[in-house]
Amino acid sequence: MHNRNIWFWLFLTPVILGLGLVVVIPFIYGFIFSFTDWNGLTATKFLGFEHYINLFQEDEFMSSIWFTVKFAVVTVILLNIMGLGLALLVTRNIKTNNLLRTVFFMPNLIGGLILGFIWQFIFVSVFDDIGTLFGIENLQGWLSTTSTGFWGLVILTAWQMAGYIMIIYIAYLENIPKDLIEAAKIDGANGLQRFKSITFPLVAPAFTVSMFLTLSMAFKIYDQNLSLTNGGPFNSTQMVAMEIVRTAFSDNQMAYAQAKAVIFFLIVAVIALTQVYYNKKREVEM
């Protein structure tokens, strides 16, 4: 018994040290210091909820939350439609299906920072040239306004992540029994009917998985934001993640930034737990 415990703890020591020193202790430490005037090294005063009261009155922080929420809603809807659409496309018996999977997935392997720079070129130079060529004024000056910056980020994210969501839907689509589809065909159901009554209900769990992933991804996005718009113009496209980094390392307000980070954690955790709850409830029903 005693002997058994020694190896158990030896096997766990490295990861406990890793998680403890990198995640758990900083998390607790940060939570405590968010109530003080901590400057990153020392704290002299306990301030209570002062930072928390201030951050809710700060326009920049609130607008970054609002921007992130809008972004999350749009990208979650868009990514799920695109992901399912692409998955339906490449699971058909076409010659190019493997090649297409490879192509659609490719952007996921390249970092968000690099992709953001590439798309900055597309939006600024290529859009501009196409706009001039065809006389479409709306294509000019992209990323220089709040709304074009928003849609620029949406387009970049949709293009990057759709292939990832596609992979999830493919996994579920390929698990649908073939004879179910065949039986429906024999019964005379057309493509739309088959999709509505068989395919769609059976890939519904994939929707739960991908909604969780897309939501948390949309809330945590940073690199793409930094390299595509850098939060501009006038911080109007700055998402929460970037707002926290800026407050901490550009404005040097460590405790205040940490209070924002705590709020950020609560938002992400509530979304994730709501998802899990929703998921579990549905599993019981099934």
Partner 1 sequence: MKKNKEKRNLFSIEILGIALGLLWIAPFYLMLVNAFKTKREIFSGVLGLPESLALENFKQAFIDLEFLKSLFNSVLITGLSIAVIILFSSMAGYALARNKSKLSGIIFFTFVAAMLIPFQSVMIPLVSIFGQANMLNAGGLVFMYLGFGCSLSIFLYHGAMTGVSKTMDEAAIIDGANRFQLFWYIIFPLLKPISVTVGILNTIWIWNDYLLPSLVLSEANATIPLKMFYFFGQYTKQWHLALAGLTIAIIPVIIGYFFAQKQIIKGVSEGAVK
Binders in 55-84 for partner 1, by CB under 8 A: none
Name which of 258, 236, 262 is nearest 247 in CA terms. Answer: 258
Size of the site for partner 1 (CB under 8 A): 91
Whole-number Å distance between alpha carbons of 82 and 176: 20
- What one-character DSSP code corresponds to residue 144? S
Residue 129: both structure tokens together: 């040239």
Closer to partner 1 at the Cβ: 95 or 281? 95
Window 131-160: residues binding partner 1 (CB under 8 A): 133, 159
CB of 70 to partner 1, least distance (A): 19
Contact stretch for partner 1 (CB under 8 A) within 20-28, 72-80, 143-151, 176-184? 20-28
101 lines the binding site for partner 1 (CB under 8 A)? yes
114 lines the binding site for partner 1 (CB under 8 A)? yes
Report the 3 state secondary structure along 191-217.
HHHHHHHHHHHHHHHHHHHHHHHHHHH
| Choice from 125, 144, 190, 193 touching partner 1 (CB under 8 A) | 125
| Choice from 121, 200, 277, 278 touching partner 1 (CB under 8 A) | 121
| Choice from 73, 77, 126, 204 touching partner 1 (CB under 8 A) | 126
| Choice from 97, 145, 208, 279 touching partner 1 (CB under 8 A) | 97
237 lines the binding site for partner 1 (CB under 8 A)? no
Whole-number Å distance between alpha carbons of 238 and 149: 10
| Choice from 2, 4, 178, 281 touching partner 1 (CB under 8 A) | 4
What number of other Cβ atoms are within 10 A of residue 177's Cβ?
A: 10
Window 33-52: residues binding partner 1 (CB under 8 A): 33, 40-41
Residue 75 contacts residue 67 (beta carbons within 8 Å): no
The owner of tokens 């709040």 is 146
Whole-number Å distance between alpha carbons of 266 and 64: 16
CB of 53 to partner 1, least distance (A): 20
Angle made by CA atoms 168, 171, 173, in degrees to the nearest 5 = 105
| Choice from 73, 94, 136, 204 touching partner 1 (CB under 8 A) | 94
Per the DSSP assignment, residues forming a β-bridge with 36 are 46
CB of 256 to partner 1, least distance (A): 10
| Choice from 69, 118, 184, 202 touching partner 1 (CB under 8 A) | 118
CB of 173 to partner 1, least distance (A): 11
Residue 138: both structure tokens together: 């709306």
46 three-class SS: strand
| Choice from 1, 2, 7, 135 touching partner 1 (CB under 8 A) | 7
The owner of tokens 């793409």 is 224
What number of other Cβ atoms are within 10 A of residue 255's Cβ?
A: 21
CB of 223 to partner 1, least distance (A): 5
Whole-number Å distance between alpha carbons of 190 and 187: 9
169 three-class SS: helix
Contact stretch for partner 1 (CB under 8 A) within 50-58, 73-81, 127-135, 193-201? 127-135
Window 157-186: residues binding partner 1 (CB under 8 A): 159, 164, 167-168, 170-172
Per DSSP, the residues of 243-256 read: HHHHHHHTS--HHH
